[in-house]
């Protein structure tokens, strides 16, 4: 029995070891060392700069958790950027007249509601999530613009901005708390619950899941709702940190989130993914942003470099799949 | 319990798809520990019959009786609740998940705090794999890393684990090579000792004669007849399948 167990462990280690599993950590390390060396005199390695990176990536990390669930189920959510803006604006407008609690409900509620709409159209009307969320991305980008006539709404409620942005607890900034809590819960749900297993099975082989008694439509509805809710939370974090909400919030996050998730080892076609990987992917994207700015690259050059890195990540991800 | 009572009884089963009659007047009994082979040409209605028994397609008329109790089923979950398991032609495995997760797909055991009980899934998978002599590297192996025969072994092991009454196998060796076919046949034969009823669909008459106790022939939805395997021969079965007299 002992020898059989050892065999099992060896087998599991061998089957789990592949390049894709570790590329995110290696990539993270490589980029970190590169910047640490290149920018040693530009303040990259200061505690202040490094903690800033973590604070800035919090909303992207939160969205990435939702997208890991969505992509693992074989779907995609392109609307998260628009949800961020709608949620942040809904919260900001509501806080001004009804206070913090109502603002949180409005912000999260908007995200969950849009997620439910996406999910219902995908699960029960059986439209492809790519098209549904492409449409709602445009639709709610319009809604966020018309909500406040393109104006920025400031958020002055200090309890709110402390809770979601600049505050801290036990000396740890609240944005780091949000990141740690969301990653921990997300990882547990994804790896250790029946729901997580059913999400993976659905993305892997929907027919097999269905004949095994898994309600595939419910899983599709659930993952898109989770993604909407988490994008709503990301909207609250932006509003809290910037003490304002505007339709431009989240506008450019979609590509960063998708990149973080894919670099983190989640397959585009579903059936396999990692929440912790998405966190590392998100930090890597944040570090890249920060380092490229410190290096003095122009905005267009930053975009080109980031695009190339995403391409590399996708190539590695697909290479593993066809193994 | 009476050992000679049938585990499954089908009486006057009919199935229409719109105007098409896929199955007419089908009646069959399957006993515990017995292997019944279902043969017939392409489109004869064999897979449809499996879907009727497993609950995927409710019959248009007729009765299904399991251990003496008439049942009505409207989906596969209800078939499974009655102790009926199916090894589908495409296996219905989640390729990127582990063997043990596939074994428990949709029925994962939970521990005291409500999280997946992986230790139990792995232990039970290893035990079953050993019992059935399915040669896979480990319970942790990913399905896509397995050979066709190993996958088939996993699908059969899963059905065996959950079936308390009846296992339906839809062409379990259609895609396999000679050696892997032999292995699957050995596994199917070993299932008899578990005292469940087995209904196997196959286009290989050699296999049918090797494995089955009785053979049921279907032609264009009609039941042509049931024969005891040791009292018939290939010529008779071929004549029944094709509707042409031999010699
Ligand atoms: N869902 C369905 N809707 C309409 N017709 C169907 C459906 N399923 C099966 N049929 C028809 O019922 C008949 C029997 O099909 P079935 O799949 O049971 O054949 P089979 O005996 O399993 O054939 P094969 O050996 O090729 O697998 C065929 O004419 C088929 O077209
Ligand atoms: Mg068939």
> For each successive 10 residues of chain A (323 residues), what is the average pLDDT?
39 51 80 89 87 92 97 96 95 90 94 97 95 96 89 85 87 91 97 96 94 93 98 95 88 90 88 94 91 88 85 70 47
Q: Does an H or E element contain B65, and which?
A: strand B61-66
Token pair belonging to B243: 């509707």
Of 2.40.128, 3.40.720, 1.10.20, 1.10.3470, the CATH number of A23-322 is 1.10.3470
Domain range enclosing B195? 8-92+163-242
DSSP state at residue B230: G
Tell how far the Cα of B45 is from the centroid of ligand 1, in angstroms: 5
Tell how far the Cα of B44 is from the centroid of ligand 1, in angstroms: 7
The answer on pLDDT for B142 being more than 90 is yes
Whether residue B202 has its Cβ less than 6 Å from ligand 1: no
Is B179 contained in some domain?
Answer: yes
The answer on pLDDT for B75 being more than 80 is no
Question: Whole-angstrom Cα distance, residue A217 to residue A112?
Answer: 17
Cβ proximity of B153 and B184 under 8 Å: yes
Question: Whole-angstrom Cα distance, residue A88 to residue A235?
Answer: 4
Averaged pLDDT, B43-62: 89
Q: Whose CA is nearest to atom 26 of ligand 1?
A: B42
In this structure, the strands spanning B20-30 and B8-17 are: antiparallel
B13, B26, B43, B205: which to mutate for ligand 1, most atoms within 8 A of CB? B43
Read out DSSP for A15-36? HH--HHHHHHHHHHHHHHHHHH
Q: Which of A59, A43, A81 is nearest to A176 (CA)?
A: A59
Domain chopping of chain A, boundaries:
23-322
Give the pLDDT of residue B29.
92
Average pLDDT along chain B: 88
Ligand 1 closest atom vs CA B41: 25
B90 and chain A: CB distance < 8 Å anywhere?
Answer: yes
Question: Are residues B94 and A204, on separate chains, in Cβ contact within 8 Å?
Answer: yes
**CATH number for the domain including B31?**
3.40.50.300
Give the pLDDT of residue B194.
84
Chain B positions touching A211 (Cβ under 8 A) are: 56, 76, 86, 88, 92
Sheet holding B166-170, edge to edge: B69-71, B61-66, B8-17, B20-30, B222-228, B214-219, B35-39, B197-201, B166-170, B84-87
* Number of domains forming the structure of chain B: 1
Q: Whose CA is nearest to atom 30 of ligand 1?
A: B43
User: Which residues, including other chains, have CB under 8 Å from residue B102's CB and lie 6 or more apart?
Assistant: B93, B94, B143, B154, B158
Is B118 contained in some domain?
Answer: no
B38, B47, B170, B217: which to mutate for ligand 1, most atoms within 8 A of CB? B47
Nearest-CA distance A199 → chain B (Å): 11
Is B47 contained in some domain?
Answer: yes
Environment class of A170 (CB within 10 Å of its CB; exposed 0-12, middle 13-18, buried 19+): exposed
Cβ proximity of B166 and B54 under 8 Å: no
In this structure, the strands spanning B69-71 and B61-66 are: antiparallel
Q: Match 């469940």 to its residue by tokens.
A: B196
Question: Whole-angstrom Cα distance, residue B174 to residue B204?
Answer: 9
Q: Does an H or E element contain B29, and which?
A: strand B20-30
Q: How far apart are the first and last CA of chain B?
A: 46
Cβ proximity of B239 and B233 under 8 Å: no
More confident residue, A196 or B234: A196
Is B68 contained in some domain?
Answer: yes
Mutate to test the interface with B, among A1, A9, A12 (most CBs of B within 10 A): A12
Is B172 contained in some domain?
Answer: yes
Chain A positions touching B145 (Cβ under 8 A) are: 15
Question: Whole-angstrom Cα distance, residue B102 to residue A209?
Answer: 10
Question: Whole-angstrom Cα distance, residue A234 to residue A81?
Answer: 9
Sign of CA dihedral B107, B111, B115, B119: negative
Give the pLDDT of residue A7.
40
Give the pLDDT of residue A8.
42
Nearest-CA distance A12 → chain B (Å): 5
Give the pLDDT of residue A18.
59
Give the pLDDT of residue A91.
93
Tally Cβ neighbours within 10 Å of residue B163.
Answer: 21
Give the pLDDT of residue B174.
82
Chain B positions touching A192 (Cβ under 8 A) are: 115-116
Helices then strands, each counted (H, E), chain A? 14, 4
The per-residue pLDDT for range B83-141, each reduced to its tens digit, is 899 998 887 899 999 999 999 999 999 999 999 999 999 999 999 888 887 888 899 99
Token pair belonging to A30: 């490589």
Helix (H, G, I), strand (E, B) or coil at B10: strand
Give the pLDDT of residue A56.
92
Q: Which of A255, A193, A197, A220 is nearest to A63 (CA)?
A: A255
Nearest-CA distance B72 → chain A (Å): 17
Whether residue B17 has its Cβ less than 6 Å from ligand 1: yes
Task: Kindly identify which residue of chain A lies nearest to residue B103, measuring between CA atoms.
Answer: A212
Is B114 contained in some domain?
Answer: no
B101 and chain A: CB distance < 8 Å anywhere?
Answer: yes
Mutate to test the interface with A, among B55, B79, B82, B96 (most CBs of A within 10 A): B96
Question: Whole-angstrom Cα distance, residue A84 to residue B46?
Answer: 53
Mutate to test the interface with A, among B73, B87, B94 (most CBs of A within 10 A): B94
B126 and chain A: CB distance < 8 Å anywhere?
Answer: yes
Question: Are residues B108 and A197, on separate chains, in Cβ contact within 8 Å?
Answer: yes
Question: Are residues B77 and A213, on separate chains, in Cβ contact within 8 Å?
Answer: yes
Task: Kindly identify which residue of chain A lies nearest to residue B91, measuring between CA atoms.
Answer: A208
Environment class of A285 (CB within 10 Å of its CB; exposed 0-12, middle 13-18, buried 19+): buried
Helix (H, G, I), strand (E, B) or coil at B89: coil
Give the pLDDT of residue A43.
84
Q: Match 């509501």 to its residue by tokens.
A: A94
DSSP state at residue A166: I
Sign of CA dihedral A8, A10, A12, A14: negative
Give the pLDDT of residue B244.
78
Question: Whole-angstrom Cα distance, residue B89 to residue B61?
Answer: 26
H-only helix segments in chain B: 46-54, 76-81, 99-103, 118-132, 148-162, 178-191, 205-211, 234-242
Question: Whole-angstrom Cα distance, residue A77 to residue A70?
Answer: 7
Question: Are residues A204 and B107, on separate chains, in Cβ contact within 8 Å?
Answer: no
Token pair belonging to A201: 């099975």
- For residue B46, give the ligand nearest its CA: 1
Tell how far the Cα of B46 is from the centroid of ligand 2, in angstroms: 6
Question: Whole-angstrom Cα distance, residue B87 to residue B48?
Answer: 14
Averaged pLDDT, B177-194: 85
Q: Which of A8, A11, A208 lies at the smallest CB-CB distance from B105? A: A208
Whether residue B212 has its Cβ less than 6 Å from ligand 1: no
Cβ proximity of A249 and A275 under 8 Å: no
H-only helix segments in B82-177: 99-103, 118-132, 148-162
Whether residue B20 has its Cβ less than 6 Å from ligand 1: yes
Ligand 1 closest atom vs CA B171: 27
Mutate to test the interface with B, among A195, A202, A204 (most CBs of B within 10 A): A204
User: How many Cα atoms sit within 13 Å of A99 on the Cβ side?
Assistant: 1
The answer on pLDDT for B33 being more than 60 is yes
């Amino acid at each position: 029995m002992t020898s059989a167990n050892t065999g099992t462990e060896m087998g599991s280690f061998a089957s789990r070891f592949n390049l894709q599993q570790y590329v995110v950590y290696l990539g993270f390390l490589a980029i970190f060392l590169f910047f640490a060396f290149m920018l040693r005199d530009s303040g990259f390695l200061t505690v202040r700069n490094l903690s800033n990176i973590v604070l800035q990536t919090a909303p992207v990390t939160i969205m990435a958790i939702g997208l890991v669930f969505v992509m693992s189920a074989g779907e995609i959510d392109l609307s998260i950027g628009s949800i961020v803006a709608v949620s942040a604006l809904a919260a900001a407008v509501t806080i001004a007249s009804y206070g913090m609690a109502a603002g949180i409900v409005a912000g999260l509620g908007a995200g969950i509601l849009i997620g439910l709409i996406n999910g219902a159209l995908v699960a029960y009307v059986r439209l492809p999530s790519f098209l549904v969320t492409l449409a709602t991305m445009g639709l709610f980008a319009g809604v966020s613009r018309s909500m406040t006539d393109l104006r920025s709404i400031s958020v002055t409620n200090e309890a709110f901005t402390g809770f979601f942005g600049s505050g801290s607890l036990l000396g740890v900034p609240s944005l780091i708390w949000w990141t740690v809590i969301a990653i921990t819960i997300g990882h547990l749900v994804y790896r250790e619950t029946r729901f997580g297993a059913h999400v993976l099975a659905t993305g892997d082989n929907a027919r097999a899941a269905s004949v095994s008694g898994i309600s595939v439509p419910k899983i599709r509805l659930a993952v898109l709702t989770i993604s909407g809710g988490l994008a709503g939370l990301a909207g609250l974090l932006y509003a809290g940190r910037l003490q304002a909400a505007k339709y431009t919030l989240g506008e450019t996050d979609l590509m960063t989130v998708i990149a973080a998730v894919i670099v983190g080892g989640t397959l585009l076609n579903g059936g396999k993914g990692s929440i912790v990987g998405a966190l590392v992917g998100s930090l890597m994207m944040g570090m890249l942003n920060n380092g490229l700015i410190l290096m003095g690259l122009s905005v267009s050059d930053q975009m080109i470099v980031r695009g190339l890195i995403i391409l590399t990540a996708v190539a590695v991800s697909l290479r593993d799949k066809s193994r | 319990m009476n050992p000679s009572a049938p585990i499954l009884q089908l009486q006057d089963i009919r199935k229409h798809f719109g105007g098409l009659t896929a199955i007419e007047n089908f009646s069959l009994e399957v006993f515990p520990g017995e292997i019944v082979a279902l043969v017939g040409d392409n489109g004869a209605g064999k897979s449809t019959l499996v879907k009727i028994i497993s609950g995927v397609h409710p019959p248009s008329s007729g009765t299904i009786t399991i251990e003496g109790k008439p049942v009505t089923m409207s989906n596969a979950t209800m078939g499974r609740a009655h102790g009926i398991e199916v090894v589908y032609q495409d296996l219905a495995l989640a390729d990127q998940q582990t063997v043990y997760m596939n074994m428990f797909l949709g029925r994962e055991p939970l521990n005291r705090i409500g999280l997946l009980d992986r230790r139990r899934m792995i232990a039970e998978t290893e035990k079953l794999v050993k019992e059935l002599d399915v040669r896979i590297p480990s319970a942790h192996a990913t399905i896509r890393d397995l050979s066709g025969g190993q996958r088939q072994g996993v699908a059969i092991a899963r059905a065996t684990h959950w079936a308390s009454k009846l296992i339906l196998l839809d062409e379990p060796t259609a895609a396999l090579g000679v050696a892997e076919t032999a292995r699957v046949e050995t596994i199917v034969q070993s299932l008899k000792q578990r005292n469940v009823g087995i209904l196997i669909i196959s286009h290989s008459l050699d296999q049918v004669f090797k494995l089955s106790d009785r053979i049921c022939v279907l032609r264009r939805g009609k039941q042509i007849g049931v024969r005891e395997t040791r009292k018939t021969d290939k010529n008779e079965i071929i004549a029944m399948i094709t509707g042409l007299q031999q010699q």
